[in-house]
Amino acid sequence: MKKISKPSFTEFAMYYETYINLINDSSILDQLKTSAKEITALFKSLDEERLMKPYAEGKWSMKDILMHLIDAERVFVYRAMRFARLDKMPVPFFDENEFAQNANANKINTTKLLKEFNACRSLTIAFFNNLTVSQMQVTGIASNFTMSVRACAWIILGHELHHLKIIRERYLSMM
């Protein structure tokens, strides 16, 4: 698997630094594969009722989080593709809460949700694996901030690690 070097702080909005700092320096693509296996195993180990229960009033369920991870991954791969293809049009912000509210994740069977997650992940890995080093360094504008193609890969993984940590600390501790 290709190694995607860590983006410099000029290649992403500082908001994403927290996510990027969660990642070790080994292959991002290998870590994306490993993380997908971990998430799949975790979700398969829990029953539907557990996956649909938020840890507090007004919070997302674990199924909502999984759909959020899928949605965010699609958004960041789309951004990376636009930048890698030298599209100079700025990419707008997306409202994660609006996406979650309208995704109806709790109405989707977990097996189907995991199938979608793993299909999305396979496409993500294939996309980034086929890019050249110079394509990885191309930047564009997303949500009014400069972002590089490689930063998108790092953000996808860091964002996922962030949510896995929340699941462990807030959802699984309730069991």
Convert the pLDDT of each residue in 78-97 to its tens digit.
Answer: 999 999 999 999 999 999 99
d(CA 55, CA 137): 39
Residue with tokens 């983006």: 7
Q: Model-level pTM? A: 0.96
Element housing 147 (H / E): strand 145-148
| The predicted structure's pLDDT at residue 175 | 62
Average pLDDT on 66-74 reads 98
Count Cβ atoms below 10 Å from residue 42 Cβ, excluding itself: 17
Give the amino acid at 174. M
Average pLDDT on 57-75 reads 97
Residue 23 is given by DSSP the state: S
Question: What superfamily in CATH does domain 9-50+58-174 come from?
Answer: dinb family like domain (1.20.120.450)
What confidence tier does 48 reach under pLDDT thresholds 50, 70, 90?
A: very high
pLDDT tens for 112-156 read 999 999 999 999 999 999 999 999 999 999 999 999 999 999 999
d(CA 131, CA 134): 8
Contact 137, 149 (CB under 8 A): yes
d(CA 1, CA 114): 23
Domain limits of the chain? Answer: 9-50+58-174
